[in-house]
Amino acid sequence: MFDLEEYNPWWVHEEDPDLEDWKDLEYRYIPSWIAELSLEPFSVNFLVGPRRVGKTLGVKLLINELLRERRNPYEIFYYDCTMLDDQDDLAAVLKTYLKLRGAKGIKSSLIFLDEVTSVRNWWKAIIDLINRKKLKNDVITVMGSVSINLGRAVGYFSGRKGNGKVLEIMPLGFRDYYRLLIGVEDYFDGKGREAFESYLKTGGYAAYLNKRIRKSDIVGALKADLRSLEREKNPEIAREILGAIISKAPSPLSYSELGQEVGVNRDTVRSYVSVLSELRLLLEIPFSQWGKKIVPKKNRKFTVRDPLMARAFAEWSRVKIEESVLYEWTVQEHLYRKFRKVYYFQSDNYEIDAVVPGMRVEVKSGKAKGKYPRDVIVLSGNEVPGFLHGIEYSHVVEYGEV
């Protein structure tokens, strides 16, 4: 009924087509996040993030490495769930595999379920097997394009995740991008500025750098995600909200101001912003009194989380995006990835773009001017690449942050 071998070519000593394609790419890399997945039984891992950022390819590269350590290739099972309709279909696939591995004397497996969010109530099939102790010696990793549905479902596994982790997979950060583009670990100022100019055009999408996707693919993915939600969202309203955010950036805004600009009420704006944030496309940056006290009534800054996303949504919305905005947004995003929180501050005398634990940063796309308190890091445009290169972060996020 289910052709499992088609998705697991290593069972019959053949190479995966995705890895064959990867070898032909001009810019190749092995994602650092694969080392952060839990491979210790029992685990349920979740890969959460926008489309086209390399989740599937990263898993295939991980599988290729793991096969070198495994005696029996049937210990590793991958399945693309796109063709499945509901939890009964998924349960049937898993039972078919469990029966197969039992016949081969395998008691512990690494199971990778791709595009799982396309399956209605997919978590019920997995939780049922967990509750019946059928997966007690296994590592299950689930991922899907509709990251909002995956993220919301993580809560169903409370107390059932074992050693599992949630990883937020985003487009490449600048440090990894620099290594990919320049080919060296050590940072050189001239090469860094060259790489950053490219980063502002391509974002962290290696697929775009390799000419495998276009900006229209990013917009198309957003439209598909919005229409696939249980409470479907209108892509046209999302387009207008994103256009208003981009055209007014980097100024702080309220939901009401955005609503007036778009022609919808503040609750509608709040709902769409929440969805865009859960899809890992938008970041809300609240006002904070020196990072110690959030002031909810103050206007918020809104950041599109990758330069290519920003350019794609600007083109879709028919608005212009300023390069100075991309400088600020990129710094805010990188600090958020490291600290999992970022705020801004504004007084009568100055504004600070990013306030994080132990650090306050103001970003200038050109030469830095004006006076700021001594503890504020004021970055001129030429200093931004080096600052970004120095930021290391983990992809692991807490369950409550999903």
Q: For 349-357, what is the mean pLDDT?
A: 93
Q: For 120-128, what is the mean pLDDT?
A: 95
Q: What is the pTM of this model?
A: 0.94
In a domain, 386, yes or no: no
The pLDDT value given to residue 400: 57
Question: Minimum mean pLDDT among 12-26, 70-84, 135-149: which range?
Answer: 135-149
**51-74 confidence digits (pLDDT tens):** 999 999 999 999 999 999 988 999
Reduced to 3 states (helix: H, G, I; strand: E, B; else coil), residue 372 is coil
The pLDDT value given to residue 290: 66
**155 and 11 assigned to the same domain:** yes
- φ/ψ of 307, rounded to 5, equals -60, -35
Q: For 128-133, what is the mean pLDDT?
A: 96
CB-based contact 210:27 (threshold 8 Å) = yes
Q: Using a CB cutoff of 8 Å and minimum separation of 24, what contacts does 195-200 make?
A: 195/385, 196/384, 196/385, 196/388, 199/174, 199/307, 199/330, 200/307, 200/323, 200/326, 200/327, 200/330
**139 and 235 assigned to the same domain:** no
Q: Which residue has the higher pLDDT, 250 or 148?
A: 250
Q: Residue 107 and residue 121: Cα distance in Å, rounded?
A: 27
The pLDDT value given to residue 369: 65
The pLDDT value given to residue 291: 62
**143 and 241 assigned to the same domain:** no
The pLDDT value given to residue 155: 84
The pLDDT value given to residue 127: 96
The pLDDT value given to residue 117: 86
How many Cβ atoms are within 10 Å of 247's Cβ, its own excluded?
17
Backbone region of residue 49 per phi and psi (left: phi > 0; alpha: psi in -120 to 50; beta: other values)? left
CA atoms within 13 A on the CB side of 356: 18
**26 and 104 assigned to the same domain:** yes
302 sits in which H/E element: strand 301-304
Per-residue burial over 327-343, b if 16 or more Cβ lie within 10 Å, else e, is bbbbbbbbbbbbbbbbb
**250 and 157 assigned to the same domain:** no
The pLDDT value given to residue 368: 64
**225 and 356 assigned to the same domain:** yes
Task: Name the average pLDDT for the chain.
Answer: 94
The pLDDT value given to residue 206: 97
In a domain, 204, yes or no: no
Cα→Cα distances 291→20, 149, 279, 361, 377, Å:
48, 31, 26, 12, 15
Which residue from 170, 141, 113 is spatially nearest to 46, judged by alpha carbons? Answer: 141
In a domain, 108, yes or no: yes
**241 and 366 assigned to the same domain:** yes
Q: Which residue has the higher pLDDT, 335 or 369?
A: 335
The pLDDT value given to residue 147: 66
In a domain, 179, yes or no: no
Banded model confidence at residue 210, pLDDT cuts 50, 70, 90: very high
**4-32 confidence digits (pLDDT tens):** 999 999 999 999 999 999 999 999 999 99
Reduced to 3 states (helix: H, G, I; strand: E, B; else coil), residue 390 is coil
CB-based contact 171:29 (threshold 8 Å) = no
Here the CATH number for the domain that contains residue 316 is 1.10.10.10
Q: For 208-218, what is the mean pLDDT?
A: 97
Question: Minimum mean pLDDT among 75-79, 153-157, 179-183, 314-318: which range?
Answer: 153-157
Q: Which residue has the higher pLDDT, 148 or 21?
A: 21
Tell me: pLDDT of 252 over 70. yes
CB-based contact 270:233 (threshold 8 Å) = no
Banded model confidence at residue 150, pLDDT cuts 50, 70, 90: confident
Banded model confidence at residue 402, pLDDT cuts 50, 70, 90: low
Q: Residue 118 and residue 114: Cα distance in Å, rounded?
A: 9
**232 and 362 assigned to the same domain:** yes
Number of separate domains in the chain? 2
In a domain, 203, yes or no: no
Which residue from 152, 71, 151 is spatially nearest to 104, judged by alpha carbons? Answer: 71
Q: Residue 139 and residue 122: Cα distance in Å, rounded?
A: 17
**161 and 280 assigned to the same domain:** no
Rg (CA), the chain: 22
In a domain, 194, yes or no: no
Give every CB contact of residue 41 below 8 A, 6+ residues apart in sequence: 108, 136, 137, 138, 139, 162, 163
Q: For 111-133, what is the mean pLDDT?
A: 94
Q: Which residue has the higher pLDDT, 373 or 293?
A: 373
Q: For 174-198, what is the mean pLDDT?
A: 97
Residues in the chain: 402
Here the CATH number for the domain that contains residue 36 is 3.40.50.300
Q: For 29-37, what is the mean pLDDT?
A: 96
Instruction: Supply the range of the domain harboring residue 154.
Output: 4-168
**18 and 158 assigned to the same domain:** yes
The pLDDT value given to residue 370: 67
- φ/ψ of 63, rounded to 5, equals -60, -40
In a domain, 290, yes or no: yes
CA atoms within 13 A on the CB side of 350: 18
Tell me: pLDDT of 354 over 70. yes
In a domain, 303, yes or no: yes
Tell me: pLDDT of 401 over 70. no
Show the CA angle centred on residue 77, arms to residues 73 and 80, nearest 5°: 140
**145 and 226 assigned to the same domain:** no
Cα→Cα distances 326→297, 374, 398, Å:
26, 25, 28
**101 and 29 assigned to the same domain:** yes
The pLDDT value given to residue 156: 87
Reduced to 3 states (helix: H, G, I; strand: E, B; else coil), residue 141 is strand
142 sits in which H/E element: strand 139-143
Question: Minimum mean pLDDT among 84-93, 227-236, 334-343, 362-371: which range?
Answer: 362-371
